Amino acid sequence: MQSQWETDVVIIGAGVTGTTLARELSRYKVDAIVVDKGGDAGSQGQTKAAGGMIYTGLIMLMSFILKSVMAPDAPLYDPDSQKVKWLEQGFDMAAQWLEELDVEYHRLTTMVVATNTEEVKALESLVKFGESIGTNRYASARWADSKMCSDMEPHLTKDVVASLYSEGDLMHTQPWDIAIAQAENARQNGIRFMFDTEVTGVLQKNGYQIVETSQGPIKTRFIVNAAGIFADVVADMGGARDWGLAFVRNLPTILDKRTSRLVNTCLNRPPVPGKGPICYRTLDGNVKIETGPYVIPRDRYDTGAYPGELIQNLLEAKRYIPEISEKDVIRTFVGMRVFNTRDQEENIIEPCSTNPRFINAAVRLPGIIPALPIARHLVKMLGDAGLELTTNPDFNPFRTAIPRFRNLSESERNKLIAKDPRYGHVVCRCETITEGEIVEAIKRGARTVAGVRYVTRAGMGRCQGGFCGPRVVGILARELNIPVTQVMESGLGSPIVPFESKELLREAARVGA
């Protein structure tokens, strides 16, 4: 079989794990190809559904307690665990990482509220647990009485008697931004990307491997499996494994920006198994409800909303913020979280036991926080396996984001429009996204409606693309020089408008004749 493509490393998956690795590899003179079955980076898999929270301190303490439900014998905090180390390192590296990539983030205050004495006790033990670890990192929580709670969160239920809060240990990003920015930066530094490319098999040859894909075979020396929800399926192509994947799903819900005043912090209740944070204000000013229930899905494709699930979610959040209303819902989606069955507490970051040149990177959540240390570890593993790592003297860590017209001052806007008038043409009215931004997103690699949406936010507002959808489709067709009928929502097989006017009538006439 003749391979059209040849490379040193194939990275399977362009989520946060795969794109971080791609960028880290581009620090070296390494030839690598990232393949993803979806149409664009970051707009597939878990990365697009994540909360985008990069945290340590108070929320991390709560997640340690929650994890103890699954592994009751494990210590609450294990300083020697690789997972914990990477989570701490990842948080400490995050600000510089995001700034180099020009990824927006904002710092949120964490607040954990108690509505009765039992919950106050839970908060007290949370404080004790934090102090027992013995570093400032986990001792940042402060007490707020009910008066202070309502000053911090004026729309909070008056049932709150006290809360813990902490500042500075939570950064909120739009998670797909990270994958998109890294894909751009990695590409800038020489890494190749292939989308709409599904990996279907791996053949082991003498000294090299063939990655079989829907676009044809790729000859490579090393393979990294960063396939997220499908990491087990892809792992089987490389060799044997002694782990499987387990899934838990919930239904994050986004409210209209009109309601952004309802929440200032990332609002939580004391750790309850099967429940997440209640809600928080996103970077873009929407209220996002993440509260449970978290349930075991039928299978990994079970990504539809169940009847009544949303209402349950809203009722739960309303107990804390009574003004939350179903009238303000603009979008829901299913978040599929992944664990491995060998050790719920750890990631699988290891070569396949029967194929040392095939490395599995099945990251458990939270997977964005540790993405950078994990990627650096993966680079080291590739080096150990024989990949030459010569520094790339041309590596440029900086990427500049597409101008965000909505956030600019009037004079900055005028300057931008003078340079390129398309920045004066607002296409998405709900989020104020201009034609200039959309065209630039396509230039940088967005190829589908979802791709444009995740890069620019066009279509993420209250009308969900009802107004800008046809316009974005038109711009994609024009810029990519393809027929409108071939513009996809998010990848092959998802056309928006598959037929031209009169096409069905002509077809019927042919059949009839």
Ligand X SMILES: Cc1cc2nc3c(=O)[nH]c(=O)nc-3n(C[C@H](O)[C@H](O)[C@H](O)COP(=O)(O)OP(=O)(O)OC[C@H]3O[C@@H](n4cnc5c(N)ncnc54)[C@H](O)[C@@H]3O)c2cc1C
List of residues contacting ligand X (CB under 6 A): 12-18, 35-38, 44-47, 49-53, 198-199, 226-230, 234, 252, 335-337, 363, 365-369
CB of 390 to ligand X, least distance (A): 26
Side chain identity, residue 229? I
Bridge partners, 209 (sequence order):
204, 220
Partner from ligand X, another protein, none binding residue 470, C-beta < 5-8 Å depending on class? another protein
Backbone torsions φ then ψ of 422, nearest 5 degrees: -65, -20
The interface region with another protein, picked from 70-78, 120-128, 239-247, 300-308 by CB under 8 A, is 300-308
Nearer to ligand X, 119 or 309 (CB): 309
Nearer to ligand X, 115 or 377 (CB): 377
Bridge partners, 249 (sequence order):
295, 336
The interface region with another protein, picked from 117-125, 266-274, 336-344, 409-417 by CB under 8 A, is 409-417
174 lies in the binding site for another protein (CB under 8 A)? no
304 lies in the binding site for another protein (CB under 8 A)? yes
The interface region with another protein, picked from 12-20, 153-161, 286-294, 308-316 by CB under 8 A, is 308-316
Coil/strand/helix, residue 86: helix
Coil/strand/helix, residue 218: strand
Relative to beta strand 279-281, strand 287-289 is antiparallel
Binding another protein (rule: CB under 8 A), the pick from 6, 131, 326, 388 is 326
Relative to beta strand 209-213, strand 199-204 is antiparallel
Partner from ligand X, another protein, none binding residue 49, C-beta < 5-8 Å depending on class? ligand X
98 and 53 Cβ atoms separated by less than 8 Å: no
Distance of alpha carbon 464 from alpha carbon 38, whole angstroms: 21
Partner from another protein, ligand X, none binding residue 336, C-beta < 5-8 Å depending on class? ligand X
Give the DSSP letter string of 127-169: HHHHHHH-SGGG---EEEEHHHHHHH-TTS-TT--EEEEESSS
Side chain identity, residue 428? C
Side chain identity, residue 57? G
Coil/strand/helix, residue 391: strand
Partner from ligand X, another protein, none binding residue 505, C-beta < 5-8 Å depending on class? another protein
Distance of alpha carbon 34 from alpha carbon 13, whole angstroms: 7
Partner from another protein, ligand X, none binding residue 210, C-beta < 5-8 Å depending on class? none
332 lies in the binding site for another protein (CB under 8 A)? yes
Nearer to another protein, 110 or 456 (CB): 456
Nearer to another protein, 78 or 507 (CB): 507
474 lies in the binding site for another protein (CB under 8 A)? yes
496 lies in the binding site for another protein (CB under 8 A)? yes
CB of 205 to ligand X, least distance (A): 20
Q: Which of residues 423-442 bind another protein (CB under 8 A)?
A: 424-426, 429-430, 432, 434
CB of 460 to another protein, least distance (A): 12
Nearer to another protein, 294 or 306 (CB): 306
The interface region with another protein, picked from 156-164, 347-355, 361-369, 465-473 by CB under 8 A, is 465-473
H/E segment holding residue 87: helix 82-100
Binding another protein (rule: CB under 8 A), the pick from 331, 344, 389, 479 is 331
42 lies in the binding site for another protein (CB under 8 A)? no
Torsion-angle region of 502 (φ positive above 0: left; ψ -120 to 50: alpha; else: beta): left
H/E segment holding residue 359: strand 355-362
418 lies in the binding site for another protein (CB under 8 A)? yes
**Residue found by looking up tokens 């201009």 in the block:** 434
What SS3 string covers 422-444?
HHHCEEECCCCEEHHHHHHHHHC
Distance of alpha carbon 435 from alpha carbon 423, whole angstroms: 6
Nearest to 332 by CA among 251, 275, 219: 251
Interface with another protein by CB under 8 A: which residues? 258, 301, 303-307, 309-311, 326-327, 329-333, 410-411, 413-414, 417-418, 421-422, 424-426, 429-430, 432, 434, 462-467, 469-470, 474, 484-485, 488-505, 507-508
